[in-house]
Each structure stands twice: as C-alpha cells, then as structure tokens.
Structure 1
Amino acid sequence: MRPLLVHDVRCASGEREEPEALTRTPLLLVHGHPFDRTMWQPQLTRFSADRRVIAPDLRGYGASPVTPGTVPLSRHAQDIGDLLDSLQVDTCVLAGLSMGGQIAMECYARYGDRIRGLVLADTFPAAETPEGRRSRYAMADRLLAEGMRGYADEVLERMVAPYAHPDVKAHVHRMMTATSPQGAAAALRGRAERPDYRALLTAVGVPGLVITGADDTYTPVSDAEVMHAALPDSELHVIEGAAHLPNLERPAEFNRVLGDFLARLDG
C-alpha cells in the first residue's frame, strides 16, 4: 500500500463527534513549493473552529515520504485523492497556493465531482514555457548539488515582501531550508512537465475564489485576472501589502476573504 501523506486534521469539537462543525464542507489546503503544511497555520487555527480542516505535507515535503526522480502533479493529485478516501471525506472545498494551486487544478480535472469550491491563490494555469522548463530542471540539479539554504536565501524576499514581518520571514525561511532537496527536485521536474489548465478553468462547475498578493512577482495580478476571467463563477481579491504568500503575510485579510467564500458555499 502506498504511504499516506502526513497531514494535520483539525476540528474544534474533535474527530469522533458529530456537531454542526463536522457537517460543514471540509476545507483541504494544499501548500506550495518548497514549503510544508505549516504554511497554513493561520488558516488551520481560524477555520477549524467551525469545520474540518485538512492540511497535508505533499509527497517529498515536510514529514511525508520522498520519491526521488520526477513527481508529476498527477501524482500529487492522486495522493490527495487517496488521503480523502482514507479520511472518508466525500467532498471538500479545495484550496491551493502556487504549485498547490496547480495541484488543485489537476485534482479538479481528476475528481471534480468531489470538489464543492475551488480556491486558487498566487498561481497560474498555463503549461511551462521551454525556457521555464529548462530553468526548473536546472534548479532541480542545483538543489541536489548544493542543498536548499542558498536558494532559500536568494528567494526569501520574493516569496514574502521585503517589508514582511520578521517572524513571517523566519517561518518561510525555515520551511524552505527544512525541505528535502530530493523531494523539491522531483517536484520541480514534475512541474516542468505540467499540462495547460486554461481550458479546464472554463469548464469548472463550482464557485471559484482567486486570491493574489498585490506585490507578487512570481504570479502577478495579471495571472489572477486571467484565471478570474476564465472561471464561469469566481471572485477575485488582490491583497495589498503582500507578495507570494498572502495567507502568511496578511492572514487576517486572507482569512476574511476565504471565510466569506466558505460562508457563501455553506449558505
């Protein structure tokens, strides 16, 4: 049997009870690269008060097992489907950030009937360009040769804005340096070969929420606008004072927007 992803499942009332909190649609949070499930700490704390919240470490990240070589987005999506099965979760609101957003799109392509709402944060749907493909393979080789610290030092103030709180910067840096180079490299190679999800977005049959940081240089606001225009039923929110990780940089604003979306679905 394949190993399950290491995950954090929270609900204020406990897993064995049947209060109203457990009747709300569960929220599943998919982290980006090269992070882990602690990326979602502000959301786990906020939303577990009234629903089941699930945050896994993706294959190769955090405490989940590492698969060397290449791990495509389809493998991550299958892992998430297997996790939902193991937790006996039939449907969920699926939220993903950056690579996690692309995995969320792959999940919708594979088992969209299990997804009640789709949250795409600081991500983009297009396939990789030839230049981008070469860059991801080169970065995979570099991480295997040098480890994660040099890369983490270089990109920290693009992942979060230079003006981000020092505690947020420290958390993000810790996640990056703790990531397995083998796991990160395998995911980079898989992401380099990802399909184009733009046509998929036009056929999404559930409400969508598109969120991005105003100062994100990895996935600028224009990428969010493209997804918002493609989705048949979506909301777009640009969070000021944030770069690529608005859920950590501006958690109160991010949680307000996500909370309003969840309330709409609950209603």
Structure 2
Amino acid sequence: MPTFHRGHTTIAYTDTGVPEGREDAPVVFFAHGLLFSGWMFHRQIEHLRADYRCVTIDFRGQGNSPRARGGYDMDTLAVDVAELLRHLQIPVVNFVGLSMGGFVGMRLAARQPESVHTLTLMDTAATAEEPANRSKYKTLSKVYRLTGVRPLRARVAPIMLAPGNIDAPWVEDWLAALDRTDRAGLAKAIESVADRDPCEDEAVRIIAPTLIMVGAEDAATPPAKSRRLEELIANTSFHEIPGAGHSPSMERPDEVNAILSAFLSEYNA
C-alpha cells in the first residue's frame, strides 16, 4: 500500500488511478469510520472504479497507517486529508465520510469549499459525543489497549453493527485486521473521537450538495443525529438504510452503492 509523509507521520492510502479512457474522471475520496480503514469501502470502490478515480485514506494509527506521535484530533486529520490531496495533485473531490470520516469531511468542506464538489455523510453527526458514550468509549479504549479486541467483541459489535449483521462472514476479516493494528495508536484514535469538538457552527457554512445516509439501526449515531444535519446544511438529501447499523457500507453495500451512484451521477454529469 502506498504511503506519504507529513512531517514525522506516515499515512497510508489507496488510489485506483484514472479509469481507462476517462482522463477527466471525477475523484471520489473515502474517509473511514473508527475501528476500520479504507477497506470498509471496498464494495463501493468495486462498484464505482470504472467511472471514477477512487482514493481512500487510513487515518493515523488505523489500518496500514502506523502510530503517530500525536495529532489524532479531527482538525489535524482534516489537514492530513488536504495534504494527501495536494500530494496526489487532486484539486477537488467528491468526499464520502463515514462516522469519524464524516467529522473530518464536514471540517474540510467548510474550511476549503473549493476542494469538495459533493459531500456524502454516513452515520455521522456535527455534535460532540454524548457524555455517557464518551465515558464508555474511553473505558473500552483502556481495556482494548491491554487485551486487544477479541475479549471485547460482545461489547463492540453491537455498537458498530445492526444485530442481524453481528455474525456476517466479513466480520471475522474486520476483527483480524484489528488484531494487526497497533493498540496504542488505535486507542489514541478512539480517545480523540470521544473527545472531539462539535462542528455545528462549521456545518452551516457547507455549500457542497450533501447526501446523508444512516443505518436505521445505528446505535452509535442514531438516525435523529443525522436528521439534525439536514437542518444545518443547506442542500441535502437524506436516506435511511434498513437493516444496517453504524457500518452500512459493509452491512448493506448494494443499497449504499445504488444511492451513492445516483447522487454522484447527478452532480458529475
């Protein structure tokens, strides 16, 4: 997997490149949720790569990006994305962010509107984490740092997935990837998400056409929080995904692909 360096930080990414015969193809940039990596969008990339250049990032301490000295906060991650795009000489993207990726995407769209042509926000919110959740996630982070994810499966899976998807075949691949992740780095990422600042004041400045999707059974970011984004962002469309929890790109990929394709086609004709 290719990497780029920002100071002392190494950040992994993937890039499908320009589709054959489509030198002017738009770019779709995917930003993953906590405990995942760019891998969580592989079904969307398979679906889109014939018509779009698809790029993913692995945030600091997650996926194939090693532990960083610091800078796990959402503001720094937004700069990481901007620097990666500069490194790849990509001036504008269709940004797709799930949960933590959405926290980053909203900041980028508000601060650098010229770089975000469309914005897709999945299972995310502009608010700070609820105090009860913040405490729970920090406790899980401490335990994970000592034991790894396997002993926590029964507590983590219901947060990330709808009940009917907890034993899906791909879940084992996800847990195996977490087993390979540096625990200290991922623990810092968890704590930074738990402690994130709200960005409602920035969300109201977003001008990019915005698609909002949320799993109907999302326990981590319930649909009502995604509905709040409709009130903050001027140009939005909203879709609730039946049978999905906090990770619909993996739980209900066909439904997500259909909705995302239609949205991208509308604004990239």
User: Which residue identity is paired with 1:45?
Assistant: E
TM-aligned CA deviation for residue 23 of structure 1: 1.3
Q: Give distance in 1, aligned partners of 2:163 and 2:208.
A: 36
Deviations 1:221-249 (A, max 9, x none): 11111112221000000111111111111
TM-aligned CA deviation for residue 158 of structure 1: 3.5
List alignment gaps of at least 5 residues for structure 1.
none
1:9 is aligned to: 15
User: TM-score w.r.t. structure 1 length?
Assistant: 0.90
TM-aligned CA deviation for residue 85 of structure 1: 0.8
The farther-off stretch of 194-203 and 89-98 is 194-203
Is 1:248 equivalent to 2:250 in the alignment?
yes
Is 1:222 equivalent to 2:205 in the alignment?
no
Q: Give distance in 1, aligned partners of 2:141 and 2:231.
A: 33
Kept in 2, the 8 Å contact 1:156–1:173? The answer is no
Q: Give distance in 1, aligned partners of 2:194 and 2:244.
A: 26
2:106 is aligned to: 105
1:179 is aligned to: 181
**Secondary structure at the residue paired with 2:173?**
helix
**Secondary structure at the residue paired with 2:35?**
coil
Q: Give distance in 2, aligned partners of 1:193 and 1:159.
A: 18
Q: Give distance in 1, aligned partners of 2:181 and 2:56.
A: 16
User: Which residue identity is paired with 1:192?
Assistant: A
TM-aligned CA deviation for residue 84 of structure 1: 0.4
User: TM-score w.r.t. structure 2 length?
Assistant: 0.89
Q: Give distance in 1, aligned partners of 2:50 and 2:90.
A: 18
Is 1:163 equivalent to 2:164 in the alignment?
yes
Identical counterparts, % of pairs: 27
Kept in 1, the 8 Å contact 2:129–2:194? The answer is yes
The farther-off stretch of 165-174 and 238-247 is 165-174
Q: Give distance in 1, aligned partners of 2:209 and 2:231.
A: 13
User: Which residue identity is paired with 2:214?
Assistant: T
Q: Cα distance 1:36–1:101, how it changes in 2: closer, same or farther (>3 A)? A: same
Q: How does 1:54-133 map to 2 (within 5 A)?
A: 54-68=55-69, 71-133=72-134
Deviations 1:16-69 (A, max 9, x none): xxx32x413200000111111111110111111111000111110111121256
List alignment gaps of at least 5 residues for structure 2.
1-5
TM-aligned CA deviation for residue 184 of structure 1: 1.4
Kept in 2, the 8 Å contact 1:124–1:227? The answer is yes
Kept in 2, the 8 Å contact 1:98–1:123? The answer is yes
Q: Give distance in 1, aligned partners of 2:264 and 2:127.
A: 27
What is the aligned length? 262
Q: Please report the RMSD computed on the Cα atoms of aligned residues, expressed in angstroms.
A: 2.0
**Secondary structure at the residue paired with 2:14?**
strand
Q: Cα distance 1:201–1:70, how it changes in 2: closer, same or farther (>3 A)? A: closer
Deviations 1:92-118 (A, max 9, x none): 011111111111122223322211111
Kept in 1, the 8 Å contact 2:149–2:175? The answer is no
